[in-house]
Amino acid sequence: SRYYREVLPGEIVKISRHDVQTLDVVRRPEGDPSAFCIFEYVYFARPDSIFEGQMVYSVRRRCGQQLAIEAPVEADLVSTVPESATPAALGYAQKCGLPYVEVLCKNRYVGRTFIQPNMRLRQLGVAKKFGVLSDNFKGKRVVIIDDSIVRGNTISPIIKLLRESGAKEVHIRVASPPIRFPCYMGINIPTKEELIANRPEFHDLANYNGADSVVYLSVEGLVSSVQESIKARQDNNPKSHKSFIGKLGHCTACLTGDYPVELEW
């Protein structure tokens, strides 16, 4: 029979025809918490992935709920840019008591926008990438939930598209904190200069991208959304997952600049 599970941090696994054996779990230096990449939960992982005993979809939904607590807004409906932020948008809508309504549909015949050679072509590509379900939001105040805004140049044409198609207001809510720092742990994050959070326009982002308001989830809000059910499980069963989690910790270096290991240069 097939059996899938995570390889624990520091675990040495032997796989043979007969079975799967744990040979050893190399302990972290005393007192060091784990540093699982928090952006796996936000963006990279498939929603059906299970990390640290919890489903990524559920964490993303909790991020949306937390965002609704931190940044509510008077509006008529909640939607998303299809479809990576859907779990967060559903969480936000549920917490606010607003309907979740589709406002955009994906055009399946357009290539990936990020590989276009320049910014103008990327923005044109974004406009072609989506069809507008204008009957669903004409004359209404719309909250768009995005999972992350990194460079900041793909959300502007979407806001313009919604306004031109009859949206009364467009509010952007981002279900992760702004990325401010490079990742030296293996994720290819753009340079500091390219990150919207480090540019002057970040201080008036709504005006820059044409939204009525823009609010990101706080770092504390993201960390609590990720750790909530792990902590609850630990509290309910103190013996479980001890070798796995040890001291609870996640790498937030791209958000805070606090790297889990010392950089040697």
Identify whether 60 is part of a domain.
Answer: yes
Identify whether 156 is part of a domain.
Answer: yes
Query: Would you state the pLDDT for residue 245?
Result: 43
The tens place of each residue's pLDDT in the chain, 265 residues long, gives: 566 788 888 899 999 999 999 999 988 877 788 899 999 999 999 999 999 999 999 999 999 999 999 999 999 999 999 888 999 999 999 999 999 999 999 887 655 544 455 665 555 556 678 899 999 999 999 999 999 998 888 899 999 999 999 999 999 999 999 999 999 988 888 889 999 999 999 999 999 999 999 999 999 999 999 999 888 887 777 655 444 444 678 999 999 999 988 888 6
Residue 141's H or E segment, with its range, is strand 141-146
Identify whether 132 is part of a domain.
Answer: yes
Identify whether 165 is part of a domain.
Answer: yes
Amino acid (one-letter) located at 149: I
Cβ 166 vs Cβ 145: under 8 Å: no
Q: Which domain holds residue 150?
A: 55-220
Identify whether 206 is part of a domain.
Answer: yes
Identify whether 17 is part of a domain.
Answer: no
pLDDT tens track for 53-79: 999 999 999 999 999 999 999 999 999
120: domain CATH number is 3.40.50.2020
Identify whether 7 is part of a domain.
Answer: no
Query: Would you state the pLDDT for residue 8?
Result: 85
Query: Would you state the pLDDT for residue 247?
Result: 60
Query: Which distant-in-sequence residues (6+ apart) come within 8 Å of 76 by Cβ?
Result: 98, 99, 137, 140, 141, 142
Number of structural domains found in the chain: 1
Identify whether 170 is part of a domain.
Answer: yes
**Which residues are paired to 250 by β-bridges?**
36
Nearest residue to 250 (alpha-carbon basis) of 228, 235, 232 = 228
Query: Would you state the pLDDT for residue 102?
Result: 97
Query: Which distant-in-sequence residues (6+ apart) come within 8 Å of 237 by Cβ?
Result: none
Nearest residue to 24 (alpha-carbon basis) of 14, 11, 34 = 11
